[in-house]
Chains A and B, each alone.
Chain A
Amino acid sequence: MSGEERDFSAPDPSWVDQAQAIRRLEMGDPRGAIEFLKRALGHSPENPGLHTLLALALLETKRLHAAELEAGISLDLDPEYPIAHRIMASVQLAKRNFSKAREHGAQSLALDPNDAQNRLMQARILQAMNKKEEAKTELEMAISLAPEDPNVHEAMGDHCRHHGDPKGARKFYQAALELEPEHFGSLVGMGYVLLLEGKVEEARDHAIWALSHNPTNEEAIGLITAIKARKSPFMGLWWRFNAWLVGKGEVRAMVTLMILFVLYRIGSQVLLDLGQEDASVTLRYLWLGFAVYTWVAPGYFQRQIQAELREVQLKPGF
């Protein structure tokens, strides 16, 4: 056998690791998947599929910079790989870089227009850009392409929920749950719908179920937090403030806080210059209170939610 011929009797060791990684990803364990993919890439560093899978796993663990690099490597190796474009679009969306997200979303769609996942990606980008109707059209196309896929119904449910249509959301979540009775995202989404309808106890059952299956899922944590925030104005205020900041992205949130800080310092100095020393001191105490509150509230809130998770049991037959 010449050096260039492959020995097909011996399996490529990266296949085993790749299969394990896919299994880990399906089980909701992206960190475990990363370990297998690192090993697989040790054997096959030029495999664009492996780099794409690694980008996906990194995206799921919020390592956006590394995910972007890995999706980029995959696209360098194969510029016409639609899944890599889709993952890159997801990464850019997570980084709130809408123009790049749209560019890669469009390329994945152009390469494979009949893939419902590409349509879903496009809908997510359009939704983030507040293009409600265009997003809805993409979602309708995704449903027509893959009517048996609960994820597309869930996405339409999410779209309805985010645009103030709990009835529509309920209809699509139910459709997804008929296809897959334990569909995670739809059960969480249904929890949000119940909360919007004022059925707090039922919504809590959904949150508890979701967290018992995946304690780190952001949507599920968001649901239990929303339930808790509704009951406590003290924590609700922090939650809303935090959600508002998080929605801006890391750098914008930092700039916003910096603007607040500058306004506070200028206000305090202006009051001093105007001879309003008491008012200036009061403003300083208010800022100190704000700083302490934002420092203490997250930990306190976390403990309250953990206590809730310990105390509350699922109703039999949920």
Chain B
Amino acid sequence: MSEVYQIPDEPKAGRWENLATQPLWPLLAGMLGGPIFGWAWLILNALAFGSPTIKKEVALVLSGWVGLIGFTLLTFYSVHVGLLPKEAIPYMRIANSVIFLSVSYLIFLMQNRSFGIYEYYGGHVASGWIGLFIGFFIGPELERIQAEQLVIPLIEALL
């Protein structure tokens, strides 16, 4: 055996390497454009620079997404059956922000560690301005579509 040893935390850049960007950009895009856009970009970024923790990141995004929708349904159901007053809805929405920020920040921390190594080995780093700009306009629209096509029908079916 004479090849160079591969350390487990080293990224293996994929075919979309040109799209790799600092993980801070998708994190900001999520804050401006909502979870769907931010998380989709984080996963795309993980594929682009070959994040070694991509499986964990995908699992986090999926559980975060289920958590967000589940918590919204739970809130409306609790109000509907009288467990919570209507006035509690704004407080319950804070939990949604916490779920979104926790998942996003955990993925950001995971990617940030490997991204430093990716940069050190001369990996291509794209600017995130365009993505941020797109997220600002497209993100809220994606959230609206999700609410109309998925969340509201689910609430109606539940109540």
Chain A positions near chain B (C-beta within 8 angstroms): 13, 31, 34, 37-43, 45, 54, 58, 63, 65-66, 69-70, 250, 254, 258, 261-262, 265-266, 269, 272-273
Interchain CA distance A69-B53 in the complex, whole Å? 14
A13 surroundings in chain B (CB, below 8 A)? 2
- Name 6 extra pairs, CB < 8 A, besides A41-B5, A45-B1, A70-B7: A38-B6, A58-B7, A63-B117, A66-B8, A66-B10, A254-B106
Q: State the main secondary structure of chain A at its contact with B.
A: helix
B5 touches A38 (CB 8 A): yes
A250 touches B109 (CB 8 A): yes
Would you mind naming 20 contact pairs between A and B with Cβ atoms under 8 Å apart? A13-B2, A31-B120, A37-B5, A38-B7, A41-B5, A42-B1, A42-B2, A42-B4, A43-B1, A45-B1, A45-B5, A66-B9, A66-B10, A69-B8, A70-B7, A254-B102, A258-B98, A258-B102, A265-B94, A265-B97
CB distance from A292 to the nearest CB of B (A): 14
Interchain CA distance A58-B94 in the complex, whole Å? 39
Number of inter-chain CB pairs below 8 Å: 59
Q: Is B87 an interface residue (CB 8 A)?
A: yes
CB distance from A163 to the nearest CB of B (A): 32
CB distance from B83 to the nearest CB of A (A): 19
A42 touches B3 (CB 8 A): yes
A-B pairs with lowest CB-CB distance, top 7: A41-B5, A66-B9, A38-B5, A265-B94, A42-B4, A38-B4, A42-B3
Interchain CA distance A34-B3 in the complex, whole Å? 15
B94 touches A269 (CB 8 A): yes
Interchain CA distance A270-B97 in the complex, whole Å? 17
CB distance from B82 to the nearest CB of A (A): 20
Interchain CA distance A45-B113 in the complex, whole Å? 25
* A66 in contact with B7 given A258-B98, A261-B98, A273-B87 (CB within 8 Å): yes
* A54 in contact with B7 given A258-B102, A269-B90 (CB within 8 Å): yes
A37 surroundings in chain B (CB, below 8 A)? 5
* A63 in contact with B113 given A31-B120, A269-B94 (CB within 8 Å): yes
A65 touches B9 (CB 8 A): yes
Interchain CA distance A70-B94 in the complex, whole Å? 41
A261 surroundings in chain B (CB, below 8 A)? 97-98, 101
CB distance from A155 to the nearest CB of B (A): 29
Give the size of the chain B interface in residues (CB under 8 angstroms). Answer: 24
List the A residue with the shortest CB-CB distance to B97.
A265
Q: Is B16 an interface residue (CB 8 A)?
A: no
A43 touches B7 (CB 8 A): no
Interchain CA distance A9-B28 in the complex, whole Å? 59
Q: Is B137 an interface residue (CB 8 A)?
A: no
B10 surroundings in chain A (CB, below 8 A)? 66
A269 touches B91 (CB 8 A): yes
List the A residue with the shortest CB-CB distance to B95.
A262
List the B residue with the shortest CB-CB distance to A269.
B90
List the A residue with the shortest CB-CB distance to B3.
A42
B8 surroundings in chain A (CB, below 8 A)? 65-66, 69
Of A34, A54, A272, which is in contact with the most chain B CB atoms at under 10 Å from its CB?
Answer: A34
Of the candidates B2, B87, B98, the one whose C-beta lies within 8 Å of that of A262 is B98
Interchain CA distance A37-B10 in the complex, whole Å? 14
CB distance from B97 to the nearest CB of A (A): 7
Interchain CA distance A269-B92 in the complex, whole Å? 11
CB distance from A107 to the nearest CB of B (A): 23
Q: Is B133 an interface residue (CB 8 A)?
A: no
B129 surroundings in chain A (CB, below 8 A)? none
Give the residues from 30 to 80 in chain B that come closer than 8 angstroms, CB to CB, to chain A.
none
CB distance from A26 to the nearest CB of B (A): 21
B5 surroundings in chain A (CB, below 8 A)? 37-42, 45
CB distance from B77 to the nearest CB of A (A): 21
B101 touches A34 (CB 8 A): no
